[in-house]
Amino acid sequence: MSERPRKIEITDPVEITVDGQTVTAQSGELLIEACERAGAYVPRFCYHPRMEPVGMCRMCLVEVDTGRGPALQPSCMLPVTPGMAVDTTGEKVAKAQDGVLEFLLANHPLDCPVCDKGGECPLQDQTVAYGPGESRFVEEKRHYTKPIPISETVYLDRERCILCDRCTRFAKEVAGDPLIHFAERGAQTEVATFPGEPFSSYFSGNTVQICPVGALTAKPYRFKARPWDLEESESTCTGCSVGCRVTVQSSRNEVLRFQGVDSDPVNWSWLCDKGRFGFEAGNSEDRLGEPLLRDGGELRPARWSDALTAAASALKGADADRVAVLGGARLTNEGQLAWARLAKSVVGTDHVDAQLGDGLPAEVVLDLPGATIDEVCAPGGTVLYLGPDPKEELPVLHLRLRHAAVNDRVKIVSVSPVATGLSEFAAADVHPRPGETAVLVAALFGGDVPSDGVAGVPAEQVLAARELLSGAQDLKVVVGRQNLAESAAVMVDAVAAVRAAVPTATFLPALRRANVRGALEAGLAPGRLPGRATLEAPGSWKDAWGSLPKSVGRDAEGILTAAAAGRIDVLVLLGADPLSDFPDRDLAAKALDAAGTVISVDPFVNASAARAADVVLAAAAFGEVAGTTTSLEGRVTTLAQQVTPPGTARADWLLAVELADRLGTDTKVATAEDLWAQMVEGSAAHAGASTEALADEANVDGVLLALDGSGFTAPAATQVPPQNSYSLRLVVNRSLYDHGTLLSHCPSSAPLSREATLVLGPADAESIAVTTGSPVKVTAQRATITAVATVVDSVPRGTAVLHHNLADADADGVDPGRIVIAGEPVTEIRVEAG
């Protein structure tokens, strides 16, 4: 399942003998892997292919002869050497393995009938297959209180634990959060957390998946199902844009669990907890099972025919230039194409933006030469990181980067306004003043460095980072939005600065919404058409779609500004919640209030819809629609339909096709595959990603789109006013656990969001005489808000941080959306003790 044997390319072959057969192995690979590929699966508990071997459980003992006579050796610790002769099944091996199994069972409780792991338990499976029928251990077994919570979501049953070190190794080696550890000694050894410090890792759920017994269980799945009752299919997590492969498991038409799949180019079997437990949202009682129509100020259930008629007539009656579509990044590729066509061809508006002022222009994502995750993490490489905190926004990318830096000598030069999860292991970690990233990036590649530094970064740090970048032959750049209180243009300028210095650099866009890349590839952005075509150069789409918009439309900021000014008659929210997501909440609220008909296509009634929607079309959610998705690196993978949507909720693509039909256009689409076939046919970049290709076993990890973008041209540099010495520049960050619509409907994850505070560095805090916990007043151009201060060392002087979407949209909370003004290059604030 999760630990499928890895395919490897043998570049340095050695011949060994496994059970009498000559086998070609890769020099230096571990014997346990070579044996497995040769068809001699060696049982194991502690060994995990994605972690350092420890040789602790001793289950994988085999008899190895390297010329000095046969000896029992743990095959997980032994690299193959030429001529090695291995016996995996002989009498001595069987006796040793049986002995180990008996030792592991000695203190293991016989509670398989009530254990969640029963039915998928390696220890149980081994015992049933090879173990003794009866126990020789008549002594009293070890006893512990069971189970104990070690975090909000994970429980530990120490009686079942066989001390394989998988969870503890994962915490330290992979997640970098060593909050669980072995404690005590010998037969009393146990896995423990420190009193008062739970295993609060964003990655804790992985320990449940890799536990070879039922010692670790996850709250969302405990006692929910037996493995043999689960139906499953492989799919892709849409919690963010990394594209982690998962197995979606369900029982009685309810998704109950995600398990990470070891996709070699992507997630290596790991998932973040937000993604792993994100399926809970789909099972929420708040899911829409039928469309809604506003009636006397209230949204009330309606018949589909009425809802679709209402939506269609609003669209039909409006001037195309007064229709706008926001969102679409959470849809499947097929849904995106269907909606792109509906908007741009059937309705004829180009006021379409899948992003909500929190992303990057389409040309940065599509028109730069691309880099894959594997390329960014290739051993020995150099990475310039200009993205958001990956631990908070793209957690599994963070794990890959961590592995690259810690294990594979990848030098990461991290540039961000405040410290991130990368700071711990980045080769250089510099924090320019908000708004001045491009200035700093330019200085990293040359030019004079003034003695007082560049963009607030001390000169010696600039030079040290420059030194790291100077030898980089094959520079990889990760770029995204680091600060929602500065305009996207700041990051575009930074990209231009890199391009000017290193024309061969390749780029990985680090945008977080699940299928944002797919949306841009489908044309859900102003001026864009599917397959990287544009209105100026529409290619075959003109023929395929017929009419196209006359001129380039507005982006999200423009759409909301126009709406607020009363110039939008129909606003479609395609799984979008601008009130929560657009950085300038004030503008979003005005726009929603002033827009004509607001149509929300969503699995939930989100905050924006509750405020302003006239029509809510109940949409199917993850696991309820088959199709494809596109990850941040441009990898197209399949999404499985595992359950049916609640009530009569419908797939997004189907809604677009039906509306097109009601607007008089026959899109000739009967299935999602039809849509994808149109995409593959019309886009050279998608040529290899046909439905047939995706079904091919060789493409088990999906198909990469062509990453040969070349159309990016640097715009004129944004002018950032000098910082007022009495004010602080604001950074608005995202957190993994925020108040997003889906997360709010996950009972396990929703309580994990942190308290919204204003985060300051120690020097600035001291200058206004506040400490952690002090009330502060934050004054910006538009408004003054009150907050509680948190003082941390990692925020540089002159900068302050608020977190996006941690406060309730309607409450009078610590909401940066009340002070950030869309379009301003930076946001300056004054903070005083309050």
Partner 1 sequence: MPEGAATPELARVTSRWAVDGSHTIDGYRSSGSYAGYESIKAALDMTPDQVSGLVKDATVLGRGGAGFPAGVKWGFCPPGVWPRYLVVNGDESEPGTYKDRILMERDPHQLIEGCLIAAYAIGVAQVFLYVRGEMAHAQERIAAALNEAYAAGLVGKNILGTDFSVDIVLHWGAGAYIVGEETALIESLEGNRGMPRLKPPFFPAAKGLYMAPTIVNNVETLANLPWLVAHGVDEYRSVGTEASPGTRLIALSGHVNTPGVFEVPQGTTTFRELFESEQYGGGIRDGHHLKMFIPGGASAPWFFPEQVDLPLEGRVIGGEGSMLGSGAIVVMDETTDAVKACLRVVRFFARESCGKCAPCREGTTWEEKILQRILDGHGRPSDLDLLLDVADNISPGPYPTAAHPDAGLEAVPFPPRQTTICPLGPSSVAPITSAIRRFRPEFEAKITKRDSIPVSAAPAAPAPTPTAQGHH
Partner 2 sequence: MARFSAANEQLARSIVSRYPLPKSATIPLCHLAQEQDGHLTDDAMGHIAELVGCTAAEVLGTASFYEMFKRHETGTYCVNVCTNISCLLLGGEELLEHAEQKLGVRPGGTTADGMFTLEDVECIAACTEAPALQVNYRYFHQITTDEFDQLVDDLRAGKLADEIPPHGTLGKVRQEIPADKVANITPPEQQTEPVWIARHRLAAEAAAPAEGGES
Interface ranges with partner 2 (CB under 8 A): 178-185, 192-197
Give residues with Cβ within 8 angstroms of 806, minimum separation 6.
Answer: 735, 738, 739, 753, 754, 755, 756, 813, 814
Q: Residue 195 touches which of partner 1, partner 2, none (CB < 5 to 8 A by kind)? A: partner 2
Point out which span in 100-108, 146-154, 196-204, 471-479 binds partner 1 (CB under 8 A).
Answer: 100-108
Spatial separation of the C-alpha atoms in residues 130 and 683, rounded to whole Å: 54
CB of 103 to partner 2, least distance (A): 21
**513-527 as b/e, with b when 16 or more CB fall inside 10 Å?**
bbbbbbbbbbbbbbb
143 burial via Cβ count (<10 Å: 0-12, 13-18, 19+): exposed
> The tokens of 677 are what?
């076939």
**Which of 25, 112, 163, 776 is close enough to bind partner 1 by CB under 8 A?**
163
Q: Residue 179 touches which of partner 2, partner 1, none (CB < 5 to 8 A by kind)? A: partner 2
CB of 536 to partner 2, least distance (A): 55
Point out which span in 54-62, 324-332, 724-732, 797-805 binds partner 1 (CB under 8 A).
Answer: 54-62
Spatial separation of the C-alpha atoms in residues 411 and 292, rounded to whole Å: 52
Q: Residue 248 touches which of partner 2, partner 1, none (CB < 5 to 8 A by kind)? A: none
Give residues with Cβ within 8 angstroms of 461, minimum separation 6.
Answer: 428, 430, 453
Assess 62 for contact with partner 1 (CB under 8 A).
no
Q: Which lies closer to partner 2 via its Cβ, residue 113 or residue 196? A: 196
CB of 85 to partner 1, least distance (A): 17
Assess 95 for contact with partner 1 (CB under 8 A).
yes
Spatial separation of the C-alpha atoms in residues 147 and 425, rounded to whole Å: 35
**Which of 88, 107, 638, 799 is close enough to bind partner 1 by CB under 8 A?**
107
**By three-state DSSP, how is residue 786 classified?**
strand
**Which of 18, 23, 60, 100 is close enough to bind partner 1 by CB under 8 A?**
100
CB of 178 to partner 2, least distance (A): 5
Q: Residue 139 touches which of partner 2, partner 1, none (CB < 5 to 8 A by kind)? A: partner 1
Contacts 24+ apart (CB under 8 A), 63-69: 63/87, 63/90, 63/92, 63/93, 64/31
Assess 106 for contact with partner 1 (CB under 8 A).
yes
**Which of 71, 94, 148, 695 is close enough to bind partner 1 by CB under 8 A?**
71
CB of 708 to partner 2, least distance (A): 40
| 651, 657, 661, 662: CA torsion to nearest 10 | 50
CB of 2 to partner 1, least distance (A): 23
Q: Which lies closer to partner 2 via its Cβ, residue 142 or residue 181? A: 181
Point out which span in 114-122, 185-193, 436-444, 460-468 binds partner 1 (CB under 8 A).
Answer: 185-193
Point out which span in 178-186, 335-343, 396-404, 709-717 binds partner 1 (CB under 8 A).
Answer: 178-186
Q: Residue 61 touches which of partner 2, partner 1, none (CB < 5 to 8 A by kind)? A: partner 1
Q: Which lies closer to partner 2 via its Cβ, residue 41 or residue 182? A: 182
> The tokens of 755 are what?
């308290």
Q: Residue 56 touches which of partner 2, partner 1, none (CB < 5 to 8 A by kind)? A: partner 1
Q: Which lies closer to partner 2 via its Cβ, residue 184 or residue 285? A: 184
What count of other Cβ atoms lies within 10 Å of the Cβ of residue 428?
Answer: 21
CB of 77 to partner 1, least distance (A): 5
Spatial separation of the C-alpha atoms in residues 159 and 140, rounded to whole Å: 12
Rg, Å, the chain Cα set = 28
> The tokens of 683 are what?
């886009």
Q: Residue 113 touches which of partner 2, partner 1, none (CB < 5 to 8 A by kind)? A: none
Cα separations in angstroms, 473 against 429, 469, 506, 507, 712? 20, 9, 11, 14, 21
Q: Residue 547 touches which of partner 1, partner 2, none (CB < 5 to 8 A by kind)? A: none
Assess 166 for contact with partner 1 (CB under 8 A).
no
How many secondary structure helices (H) and strands (E) does the chain include? Answer: 26, 36
Q: Which lies closer to partner 1 via its Cβ, residue 137 or residue 194? A: 137
CB of 427 to partner 1, least distance (A): 20
**By three-state DSSP, how is residue 541 classified?**
helix
Q: Which lies closer to partner 2 via its Cβ, residue 179 or residue 365? A: 179
**Which of 3, 19, 55, 544 is close enough to bind partner 1 by CB under 8 A?**
55
CB of 425 to partner 1, least distance (A): 18
Assess 56 for contact with partner 1 (CB under 8 A).
yes
**280-307 as b/e, with b when 16 or more CB fall inside 10 Å?**
bbbbbeebbebbbbbeeeebeebebeeb
Point out which span in 171-179, 181-189, 546-554, 573-581 binds partner 1 (CB under 8 A).
Answer: 181-189
Q: Residue 180 touches which of partner 1, partner 2, none (CB < 5 to 8 A by kind)? A: partner 2
Assess 130 for contact with partner 1 (CB under 8 A).
no
Cα separations in angstroms, 728 against 168, 454, 545, 792, 807? 41, 17, 50, 15, 21
Cα separations in angstroms, 70 against 63, 80, 442, 547, 600? 6, 15, 61, 77, 70
Spatial separation of the C-alpha atoms in residues 231 and 249, rounded to whole Å: 6
CB of 164 to partner 2, least distance (A): 16
Assess 99 for contact with partner 1 (CB under 8 A).
yes
Give residues with Cβ within 8 angstroms of 408, minimum separation 6.
Answer: 377, 378, 379, 380
Handedness of CA 83, 88, 91, 93 (dihedral sign): positive
Assess 21 for contact with partner 1 (CB under 8 A).
no
CB of 395 to partner 1, least distance (A): 28
CB of 126 to partner 1, least distance (A): 13
CB of 109 to partner 1, least distance (A): 14
Assess 144 for contact with partner 1 (CB under 8 A).
no
CB of 191 to partner 2, least distance (A): 10
Point out which span in 94-102, 269-277, 515-523, 781-789 binds partner 1 (CB under 8 A).
Answer: 94-102
Contact 772, 790 (CB under 8 A): yes
Q: Residue 790 touches which of partner 2, partner 1, none (CB < 5 to 8 A by kind)? A: none
Residue located via tokens 């009685």: 252
Q: Which lies closer to partner 1 via its Cβ, residue 158 or residue 532? A: 158
Point out which span in 36-44, 55-63, 231-239, 811-819 binds partner 1 (CB under 8 A).
Answer: 55-63
DSSP secondary structure, 559-575, as one string: HHHHHHTT--SEEEEES
What count of other Cβ atoms lies within 10 Å of the Cβ of residue 322?
Answer: 18
Q: Which of 730, 734, 728 is nearest to 803 (CA)?
A: 734
Assess 74 for contact with partner 1 (CB under 8 A).
yes
DSSP secondary structure, 647-711, as one string: TT-B-HHHHHHHHHHHTT-----SSHHHHHHHHHHH-GGGTT--HHHHHSGGGTT-EEPP-B---
Task: Provide the CB-side half-sphere exposure for 304 (13 A, CA).
Answer: 14
Spatial separation of the C-alpha atoms in residues 705 and 703, rounded to whole Å: 6
Spatial separation of the C-alpha atoms in residues 769 and 762, rounded to whole Å: 10
Applying the rule CB under 8 A, the residues between 215 and 254 that interact with partner 1 are: none
**Which of 188, 473, 551, 713 is close enough to bind partner 1 by CB under 8 A?**
188
CB of 183 to partner 1, least distance (A): 9
Spatial separation of the C-alpha atoms in residues 96 and 435, rounded to whole Å: 64
Query: How many residues sit close enough to partner 1 to count as binding (CB under 8 A)?
Result: 36
Residues that bind partner 1 (CB under 8 A): 54-59, 61, 71-72, 74, 77-79, 92, 95-96, 98-100, 102-104, 106-107, 136-137, 139, 162-163, 182, 184-189
